[in-house]
Amino acid sequence: MKTTFPIIGMHCASCARLIEKKLKKTPGVMDAAVNYGSEQATVDFDEKISDLKTIGKAVEDIGYKAIVAPEKKSRGAGSGSAMTPDQMKEEAKKKELADLKIKVVFSSILSVFIVLGSFPEWFSIFMPPYVLLLLAIPVQFWAGWGFYQATWSGLKNRAASMDTLIAIGTSAAFGYSLLNVLTQKPTLYFDTAAVIITLILLGRFLEAKAKAHTSDAIKKLLHLQAKTARVIRDGKEIDVPIEEVNVDDTIRVRPGEKIPVDGKITDGSSSIDESMVTGESMPVDKKAGDPVIGATINKTGTFLFLATKVGSDTMLAQIVTMVAQAQSSRAPIARLADVISSYFVPIVLILAAATFVIWYDFGTFSSAFTNMIAVLIIACPCALGLATPTAIMVGTGRGAEHGILVKDAEALEIAHKTKIAVFDKTGTLTRGEPKVTDMAFMDNLEKVDEVKAAIAALEKNSEHPLSRAIVSFIRPPLAGSQEVVLRNFQAIEGFGVKGIVNELPVLIGNKKLMEKEGVTGSSELDKKAHDWMSEGKTLAFVAIRKKSVALIAIADTIKTEAKEMVDGLKRMGIAVWMITGDNEVTARAIARQAGIENVMAGVLPQEKAEKIKELKNDKKSVVAFAGDGINDAPALASADVGIAMGTGTDVAIESAGVTLLNRDLRSVVTVFTLSRATLSIIKQNLFWAFGYNVILIPVAMGVLFPITGWLLNPALAAFAMAASSISVVGNSLRLKGVRI
């Protein structure tokens, strides 16, 4: 049996590795994978040997919480009902965040007093050593208790992490200070231990807060579904909850209503807005026999349809599943700091122990203990831990100045590796709304203004988006200045409109309507029609007295900055692709305008994520995807870097790691530029942080003593550690001046 469940309490990739190691050792577990990014574990186990309760206990034995089974709500009206795993995770995360907040505030206040008390010449009267001890105890053993738990769990499982060094380093500083208080010696390091614990807890609080809304995208997807359906049963129309709709139920949908489930029209016709699912702005005309998609919106007509897919089988439910799977399967970036620390921590511990033994053999206990503390304090991975987050914080702030919201730090980290950028067409590369691009009339046509007025008079009575585009193109002053009398208006679903304007029969619609009504064509207009169709434009023919007199071309126009953006990406060595559910002709026409050679057309909504995965596998490259619609959510989650347009749906935005709030496509180039600059700073930080330890740890061990007679005092070690952290922060701040 294979199952996935949330885990509470992870705060670094080392935690994920520890849990994964423990799970794999659990009897009956065949395989286990723990994703730190999504805070989930996927376990494949033999039900004959193990069960979820045993697996959950294995996780809890090493200090984490596994949410593997429902439990009863403890309060409220529904106290007798079971909580879902998602609800349990949400409650646990809220409690974790609240606990961290209390510890950060409490330890911050105490640390301020401890730091002030470390200047005896100023505050010795108010804060003598024993007062500093009393202030440091709750910071060390209450606020910092989690470090001890993690260290103990790691040791039991033969694993060490940054928590191990933090626990040992701060404990050594605290213990040495305690010894000096008892022996009335002046050298104290309570401030070092307290500040380290406080800063690290603050970082974890900020991380936990950022992850508090990871499930919002799925919730919003589910809210798109209609709550009820008007079902015909026993000859009567009744409203039933969406959960009670069955396959083969006949359902009535009226104008403006959401279609409750997937099905097929049996009677009637309408124009349906499928943009929330397909991403395409043009409403789709539907008639008997055509399929309809649940959660889409009926625009004009009333129709009956037969339910073919309900519950988890609907397209919306499948999209929800794909988003969830993509989010949970996204591999966390192996942070260089964690990789270094996995080797660094045990080496430091060995070196500290060796320092104590060597100096105890050749010196005194005091010198041995002092030098060991110097090694532990100077090796405390504060700079190593700050190297990445400080650069990310400054980088994300720099992005915000340019209208770029970085929700997922991993996206900013990995974006610099992008070799392929894929763009959705509608609403991303294009404006996402129909617009008249061309209008042509017969060469010998008289009274063109009167014809325009007649067109406007007909189209303003239609609610179709194409009609609104035509009316907005024919300026209202012109349309209103003409005396027009309209009668016998008729909207022909799927074809167009017709009516009598000033006693003249006027017909506006597609080619099929012209043929159906026996309209006499025009060679010059037919030539324009052929040219405009090759450009991917939608055509509306105008006929008066069954003679073709005008032609209107409508298209979803490309954004003005699209070409500049594509050129910028190409200069960066990034290949640009376009993906769309639209037809090949229209797709190619838009791609040519943007300067894009690689096009994937006719792609169904549920296929977009698979196409992204295929690109990743076939090209062996990091792939970025930019989109705006609900249908784009699985692809945004599947891509290595998901970029959502600020004009897009909430679901698309929350599925992406980066959102362009300024709606400017050129900001896509800025995302990659910013990522490259940030990663350069991170590498510099890591180099300095690691280099600092490589150089100064031997000094702390006393390698210079035989030559210079000089030993590194723990106070200087603490200063050096602080200096390394300040240098890392200062280097990260250089991002503010980077030109992007």
State the amino acid at position 562 in one-letter form: A
* Alpha-carbon torsion angle 727, 729, 732, 733, nearest 10: -100
Q: For residues 695 and 698, give the distance between their C-alpha atoms in angstroms, rounded to a whole number.
A: 6
Written as one string, the DSSP assignment of 590-646 is HHHHHT--EEE-S--GGGHHHHHHHHHHHHTSEEEEEE-SGGGHHHHHHSSEEEEET
Contact present, 714 and 187 (Cβ < 8 Å): yes
The two three-digit tokens of residue 259, written as one number: 């279609």
Contact present, 71 and 85 (Cβ < 8 Å): no
Q: For residues 667 and 565, give the distance between their C-alpha atoms in angstroms, rounded to a whole number.
A: 8
Q: For residues 226 and 259, give the distance between their C-alpha atoms in angstroms, rounded to a whole number.
A: 7
Q: For residues 254 and 501, give the distance between their C-alpha atoms in angstroms, rounded to a whole number.
A: 30
Q: For residues 592 and 535, give the distance between their C-alpha atoms in angstroms, rounded to a whole number.
A: 10
* C-alpha 258, offset from chain centre: 27
Longest dimension (CA), the chain: 115
The two three-digit tokens of residue 289, written as one number: 């026999």
The two three-digit tokens of residue 326, written as one number: 């993509």
Q: For residues 383 and 697, give the distance between their C-alpha atoms in angstroms, rounded to a whole number.
A: 14
Q: For residues 78 and 83, give the distance between their C-alpha atoms in angstroms, rounded to a whole number.
A: 10
Cβ count within 10 A of residue 273: 18
**Which stretches of 380-535 are DSSP H helices?**
382-401, 409-414, 448-459, 465-473, 476-481, 511-516, 523-534
Report DSSP state, residue 559: P
Q: For residues 511 and 540, give the distance between their C-alpha atoms in angstroms, rounded to a whole number.
A: 8
- Per the annotation, the verdict on 61 as an active-site residue is no
Q: For residues 421 and 577, give the distance between their C-alpha atoms in angstroms, rounded to a whole number.
A: 6
Q: Tell me which of 163, 285, 424, 664 is the catalytic residue.
A: 424
State the amino acid at position 177 in one-letter form: S
State the amino acid at position 154 in one-letter form: G
Catalytic residue ranges? 424
